[in-house]
Structure 1
Amino acid sequence: MKAALVGADGALLHEARRPTGRERGAAAVVQSIVDFAADLRAHGEAHFGEPAAAAGVAVPGIVDAERGVAVYAANLGWTDVPLRDLLGARLGGVPVALGHDVRTGGLAEGRVGAGKDSRRFLFVPLGTGIAGAIGIDGVIEPGAHGSAGEIGHIVVRPGGPPCGCGQRGCLERLASASAVTAAWAEASGDPAADAADCAKAVRSGDPRATEVWQHAVDALADGLLTALTLLDPDTLIIGGGLAEAGDTLFTPLRAAVADRVVRFQTLPAIVPAALGDAAGCLGAGLLAWDLLTPEGARTDTSSTPIDTPSAADGSTTPRR
C-alpha cells in the first residue's frame, strides 16, 4: 500500500508505504487500510497542525464509486466492501472518495502529469496486467457500469493464450510486463528472468530478446490502434513497469502505431507517464480535494495555491 498527504496543488507533503498483508485474509487487508489512513491523519495533525480535510482511496478490481463500495477484487478476496463508510467512521466523519486504481492514476496524469495539456487522452499502465483510463476535459470517464477503459481485454490475437477473463488472446496476456517476463523466461531458459532483463537484452542486441519484445510491441500497437479508432485521443500516455524501458519501448511502439494508422485517423502523441508510482496517491488525493470544491472534478487543482497545511489522504493498493 502507498499513502500520502496531498496538498491542494497536488504536492506530496508526506509519503508512506506498508505491506498489504493479504496473506492474512480479506478482512485483515481492510483493517490495514483503515489503520493506515488513521495513522496518516494523525501524522497530519502532528506535523501540520490540523487533520486532513478529506480522504481518497484507490483500489483495484471493480469499484462502485457512487456507493463507495469495493465490489470485487480477486487478488484481495474482496466482495462488496463498504470501504468509504468504514474509512469515514474511522476518520471522524471526514468526506471520503473511493476510486479505481488505474482511473485514479489517470486522473493524476491528466491533472498534473503527462496529460495536463491534453483535451482527450488514454492512460495505459503496463504492469502485471493492462488497463486504461479515458480522460476527457480533465475528467476520467468511468463508463455506464464502472468498467470503461479496460483495454487489456481487447482480443488482439484470436485463439491466443487464455485469459482470466474467459477470453483468449487478450492484450494483457501478450503485452503486459508479466507477459513479457513469462515469454523471456522461456526464450532465455532462465526462470528468474523478467521483463527488465528482456529490455536489457534487447539493448545488447540479443535476437531472442528482440523477437520477444517485438511480439509484445506489435500486440500493444494493435490494441492501441483499436483504442484510438474508437476514442480519437490526442495523447496516449504509457506507464507502468514496462514503460521504464524508455526508448527501448517507445521507439518501436511509436513506429508500430504509425504503421497501422490509416488515412482517416490522426496519429496521437505517444508519451511516457510523468508521475511514476506516485500517480495513484496523487489521484486519490485529487479525488479527496474534489469533494471539497463546489465544482468537484471540474476544478483545476493544478492552479490552487497551497498556503495552508491542510491536505487530503490518498492510499492505493497494488493492481492485481
Structure 2
Amino acid sequence: MTGPARAAQAAVIALDVGGTAIKGALETRDGVVHRRIDLPTPVADGVGAVLAAVVTAAEELRPAPGDLLTARGAGLIFPGVVDSSAGVARFSANIGWRDLPIRRLVSERVGVPVAIDHDVRAAGLAEARLGTGRGVDEFLFLAIGTGIAGAVVTRGSVVAGASCTAGELGHLPVHPSGDRCACGQLGCTEAYASAAALPRRYLAQGGAGPVRAEDVIARAGRGDRIAQRVLDEAIVALGRALVIYTLVMDPALVVIGGGLARAGAALTEPLRDEVERGLAFRPAPRIVISDLGSDAGRRGAALVAWKALDEHA
C-alpha cells in the first residue's frame, strides 16, 4: 500500500534580463535555488527575439511533470525605466524595449502571474532582505557596471520615486561642464566612473589597449600614470555623487555592487577617503562591497515575484 502523495512545493521563476545575458533561477520560498540558467540576450535580433528568449528561459526553468515543485509565478527584472504597477517597460535602451507591456506578454506565454521591476531596485531589495543591508533601515545599493544606478532603501523599503527613476546617481552632473554623457547631459558620474567609462577614458588619454575596466584599476596599482589619473577622476566623480546623496538621504551604509565591485578595496578605500573629504561637518556612511555579488539581481527577481504573490493572495 502506498502512502499519501506529497504536495508539490511552491516556487517562483526568477529572471534577470540584461543587455548581455538573461540569468534565471527556479527558487522556493526558503531561498533554495533548484534550477539555474544563463542565456545570451539576443539584442541585435530585435524586440521580438529578446521577448522570445525571456519566454524560453522561463519555460526551461518551469518544473517538469513529476517534479515536487510547482511554479506559482515569475519575477522579471531589467534595466531602464520600469513601470512596475502598470507592468510596462517604458524605456530600456540596452534591450530595445519602449512602452512594451512586458508583464502581460510574458504572463500570457508562460501561464503564470508575472511581476516586473527595475534590476537595480530588485538587487537592492535582495541586499536589504538577504545581503549586506540586512537590519539596516537606511542605505544605498549602488551598482557600478556598464552604467551606474542606485537602489534607494529608506525605512527598510526600496523607493521607486514619482516617475520610477529614483536612484539615478549615474546621471548626477558631478562636473557640470565636463564630458558629455550618453544621456545628453554634461559631466555625469557615469561618464567618468562606469565600467564602460574607465577603458574609454584610458585609451583616449593615451593608454595602450585593448583594456577592460578591471585592467585599468590593476594598471593603476602597478604604477601606470594614465591609469592612475583615470581611476582618480572616477573616484572623484563617485565621491561627489555619494556626498550629494549622503547630505540628502543620510544613509548609514553604501553597498557597492555590479561588475566594478570585483575591484574590492582598490575601489572602496580611496572612495571612502574621497567621501570623507567631502563631508566637513558629519561622518561618512560605511562603504562596503555587496555580499551577494553578481547574484543580487537574480535573488531580487525571486523576491519581487514572492512579494507580488503575497500582495494578491
TM-score (norm 2): 0.89
1:65 and 2:84 correspond: yes
Task: Determine if contact 1:235/1:270 at 8 Å carries over to the other structure.
Answer: yes
Shift of 1:134: 0.4
The verdict on how the C-alpha distance between 1:6 and 1:160 changes in structure 2, with shifts beyond 3 A counting, is same
Please tell me whether residue 86 in structure 1 is matched to residue 100 in structure 2.
no
Tell me the residue number matched to 2:306: 289
SS in structure 2 opposite 1:53?
strand
Match of 1:216 in 2: 234
8 Å CA contact 2:193–2:234 kept in 1: the answer is yes
What is the identity, as a one-letter code, of the residue corresponding to 2:116?
Answer: L
d(CA) in 1 for partners of 2:273, 2:100: 44
Aligned to 1:126: 144
User: CA separation in 2, counterparts of 1:294 and 1:22?
Assistant: 33
User: Which residue matches 1:11?
Assistant: 32
Alignment of 1:208-247 (within 5 A): 208-247=226-265
Deviation of the 1:143 alpha carbon: 0.3
For residue 22 of structure 1, what is the aligned residue in structure 2?
Answer: 43
1:45: Cα distance to partner?
A: 3.2
State the TM-score, normalized to the length of structure 1. Answer: 0.87
Give the structure 2 partner of residue 40 of structure 1. 61
Instruction: Decide which of 30, 46, 69 is 1:50's aligned counterpart.
Output: 69
Q: Following the alignment from structure 1 to structure 2, what is the Cα–Cα distance between the partners of residues 282 and 32?
A: 20
- The CA RMSD over aligned residues, in Å, is 1.7
Report the Cα distance in structure 1 between the residues aligned to 2:50 and 2:174, rounded to whole angstroms. 35
- Cα displacement (A) at 1:195: 1.2
Q: Does 1:155 align with 2:176?
A: no
Contact kept, 8 Å, 2:207 with 2:227, in 1: the verdict is no
Conserved? CA contact 1:185–1:194, under 8 Å: no
2:291 is the counterpart of 1:270? no
1:200 aligns with 2:218: yes
Larger relative strand fraction:
2
Aligned-partner residue type, residue 161 of structure 2: G
Letter in 2 for 1:105: A
Q: Higher relative contact order by CA 8 Å / sep ≥ 6: 1 or 2?
A: 1
CA offsets 1:42-98 (integer angstroms, 9 cap, x no match): xx2357423211110001111110011111112222121111112222222x22110
Contact 2:202 2:216 in 1 (8 A): yes
Partner of 1:250: 268
CA–CA distance in 2 between the matches of 1:294 and 1:70? 21
User: Judging changes above 3 Å, is the alpha-carbon distance between structure 1 residues 282 and 47 closer, same or farther for their aligned structure 2 residues?
Assistant: farther
Q: How many angstroms does 1:208 deviate by?
A: 2.5
CA distance in 1, matches of 2:311, 2:241: 38
Deviation at 1:246, TM superposition (A): 1.0
Partner Cα distance (1:260, 1:295) in 2: 45
Structure 1 range deviating more: 201-210 or 110-119: 201-210
| Match in the other structure for 2:164 | 146
SS in structure 2 opposite 1:158? coil
Number of residues paired by the alignment?
Answer: 292
CA separation of 1:251/1:14 partners in 2, compared to 1, >3 Å: closer, same or farther? same
For the residues of structure 1 that align with 2:286 and 2:48, how far apart are their CA atoms?
A: 43
Give, in angstroms, the shift of residue 158 of structure 1: 1.1
Q: What residue number does 1:279 align with?
A: 296
Give me the whole-angstrom Cα distance separating, in 2, the residues matched to 1:47 and 1:236: 44
Which of residues 109, 122, 132 in structure 2 aligns to 1:104? 122
2:50 & 2:258 partners in 1: Cα distance?
Answer: 24
Q: Within 2, Cα distance between the matches of 1:221 and 1:238? A: 13
Letter in 2 for 1:274: D
- Is the 8 Å Cα contact of residues 138 and 253 (structure 2) preserved in structure 1? yes
